[in-house]
């Protein structure tokens, strides 16, 4: 492989990895435990399909996925079915976002839909 092609491939791979720095995935206890045990930044979003605020937050997270400075995962926990998790974390409303660095809670917010404020909240784990 020639030098110019190697640079082009490397640049393309870097750009592709930066495009989706913020990942949104379904919650599982295993995914949360793996991130926390590794000391990684992770957020829990208590989400309900019927919640208009949650839908607005989804749009904000989609917008933030292109921000290369947000290298973390948002795990969406179903507000209606994750009863034990809500109780454990003292979550009282849907659209609650809890940000962790490892197992340490760094910040928490409920009902915020503004991308810049959500970005600032997520960055507390980085």
Q: What pLDDT score was predicted for residue 3?
A: 40
What is the pTM for the complete model shown? 0.83
Within a domain: 3 = no
d(CA 12, CA 2): 15
CATH of the domain at 65: 3.40.30.10
Distance CA 125, CA 98 (A): 10
- How many Cα atoms occupy the beta-carbon half-sphere of 113 within 13 Å? 13
pLDDT given at position 126? 93
CA distance 32 to 37: 8
Per-residue pLDDT of the chain (126 residues; tens, 9 = 90+): 444 333 333 333 333 344 458 999 999 999 999 999 999 999 999 999 999 999 999 999 999 999 999 999 999 999 999 999 999 999 999 999 999 999 999 999 999 999 999 999 999 999
The answer to whether position 62 is within a domain reads yes
Looking at the domain assignment, is residue 14 inside a domain? no
- Among 37, 44, 31, which Cα is nearest to 88's? 44
Residue 20: what pLDDT?
59
Within a domain: residue 111?
Answer: yes
Number of compact structural domains in the chain: 1
Domain residue limits at 99? 20-123
What's residue 75's pLDDT? Answer: 98
């Amino acid at each position: 492989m020639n030098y110019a092609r190697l640079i082009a491939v490397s640049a393309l791979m870097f750009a592709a990895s930066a495009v989706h720095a913020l990942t949104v995935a379904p919650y599982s206890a295993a995914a949360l435990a793996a991130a926390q045990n590794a000391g990684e930044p992770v957020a829990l979003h208590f989400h309900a399909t019927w919640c208009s605020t949650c839908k607005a937050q989804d749009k904000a997270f989609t917008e933030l996925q292109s921000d290369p400075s947000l290298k973390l995962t948002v795990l969406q926990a179903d507000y209606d079915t994750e009863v034990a998790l809500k109780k454990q974390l003292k979550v009282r409303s849907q659209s609650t976002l809890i940000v962790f660095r490892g197992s340490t809670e760094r910040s928490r917010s409920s009902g915020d839909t503004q991308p810049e404020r959500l970005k600032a909240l997520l960055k507390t784990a980085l």
